[in-house]
């Protein structure tokens, strides 16, 4: 079985279309969208249409929750708040209803799909190897704590806009695995896979989507080429 994972499109249909064009060259079984279809960008309607047409499993992200007024905007930055307001204005009631009905998690076999971390997913924390002395109120969750609390072997997330894999090296001990060559062999181990962002990569990260082959137990990162217009 081969899955394609996409996330964090943020109202930008151009890179999303490019990703779907790239997928046409791949053999796969299902497309999973891990949320944040909307927010920031000016074309949420087209992004929702593309996702509804092409994705088999679709989850809610923090931007869907904010636009549907399921969470407070108080902790969001000004750019995000402007995006929430713009998206609410642009969307029809039927599209808002669609976003409002999206689930937070989905499980298949030993895999768990979620926008952020699976512990209290409505709080939209970021997975890290260690919170590093950060206050408990900050939105971070240690990978070790996540896997102590769940039975799933694999967790696929978005949210951070930075691709990467946390792989269990020893029981209960995880390491961050570089994906320089685009392919990560999970070797039957427990892992949390951040699929990155289609629409708004952060830092030095490229725009990406992920292919996961259950037979080979391999994660492959595909880089989506962006041009200057995609960043506006």
Summarised one tens digit per residue, pLDDT across range 169-211 is 999 899 998 665 699 999 999 999 999 999 999 888 999 999 9
Short-list 163, 197, 194, CA closest to 37: 197
Least confident residue range of 31-45, 71-85, 121-135, 146-160: 71-85
Residue 99 contacts residue 92 (beta carbons within 8 Å):
no
Cα-atom radius of gyration of the chain, to the nearest Å? 17
Neighbours of 217 (CB within 10 A): 16
C-alpha to C-alpha distances, 42 to 65, 92, 105, 206, 224, nearest whole angstrom: 18, 14, 26, 21, 20
How far apart are alpha carbons 82 and 76 in whole angstroms?
10
Joined together, the tokens standing for residue 72 give 């407070």
Q: Is the predicted pLDDT of residue 132 greater than 70, yes or no?
A: no
Q: Can you tell me which residue has the tokens 């869907």?
A: 64
Least confident residue range of 55-64, 156-165, 173-182: 173-182
How far apart are alpha carbons 125 and 219 in whole angstroms?
23
Q: Beta strands of the chain (E only): which ranges? A: 2-6, 30-33, 57-58, 105-108, 111-114, 126-128, 140-142, 154-157, 164-170, 173-177, 183-185, 191-194, 207-213, 218-224
> What's the confidence (pLDDT) of residue 52?
97
Q: Is the predicted pLDDT of residue 138 greater than 80, yes or no?
A: no
How far apart are alpha carbons 187 and 168 in whole angstroms?
10
Percent of the chain whose pLDDT exceeds 70: 92
> What's the confidence (pLDDT) of residue 84?
80
In which band, very low, low, confident or very high, does the pLDDT at 139 lie, cut at 50, 70 and 90?
Answer: confident
Residue 89: burial class (beta carbons within 10 Å; 0-12, 13-18, 19+): exposed
State pLDDT tens for residues 3-55.
999 999 999 999 999 999 999 999 999 999 999 999 998 999 999 999 999 99
Residue 140 contacts residue 128 (beta carbons within 8 Å):
yes
In which band, very low, low, confident or very high, does the pLDDT at 158 lie, cut at 50, 70 and 90?
Answer: very high
- pTM for this prediction: 0.94
> What's the confidence (pLDDT) of residue 229?
66
User: In the predicted model, what is the mean pLDDT of the chain?
Assistant: 91
In which band, very low, low, confident or very high, does the pLDDT at 230 lie, cut at 50, 70 and 90?
Answer: low
> What's the confidence (pLDDT) of residue 76?
72
The set of residues, in sequence order, having a beta carbon less than 8 Å from that of 85 and lying 6+ positions away, is none
> What's the confidence (pLDDT) of residue 174?
94
Residue 19 contacts residue 208 (beta carbons within 8 Å):
no
């Amino acid at each position: 079985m081969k899955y394609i994972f996409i996330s964090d499109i943020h109202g930008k249909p151009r890179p999303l279309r490019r990703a779907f064009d790239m997928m046409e060259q791949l053999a796969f079984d299902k497309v999973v969208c891990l949320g944040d279809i909307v927010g920031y960008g000016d074309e949420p309607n087209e992004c929702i249409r593309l996702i509804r047409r092409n994705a088999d499993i679709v989850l809610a992200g923090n931007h869907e929750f904010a636009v549907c007024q399921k969470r407070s905007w108080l902790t969001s930055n000004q750019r995000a708040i402007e995006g929430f307001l713009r998206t609410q204005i642009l969307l029809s009631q039927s599209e808002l209803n669609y976003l409002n009905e999206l689930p937070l998690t989905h499980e298949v076999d030993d895999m768990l799909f979620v926008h952020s971390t699976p512990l209290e997913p409505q709080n939209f924390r970021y997975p890290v190897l260690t919170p590093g002395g950060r206050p408990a109120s900050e939105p971070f969750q240690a990978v070790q704590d996540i896997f102590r609390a769940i039975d799933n072997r694999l967790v696929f997330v978005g949210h951070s806009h930075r691709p990467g894999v946390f792989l269990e090296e020893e029981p209960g001990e995880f390491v961050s695995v570089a994906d320089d060559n685009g392919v990560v062999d999970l070797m039957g181990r427990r892992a949390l896979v951040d699929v990155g962002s289609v629409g708004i990569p952060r830092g030095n990260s490229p725009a990406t989507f992920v292919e996961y082959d259950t037979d080979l137990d391999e994660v492959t990162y595909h880089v989506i080429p962006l041009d200057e217009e995609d960043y506006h």
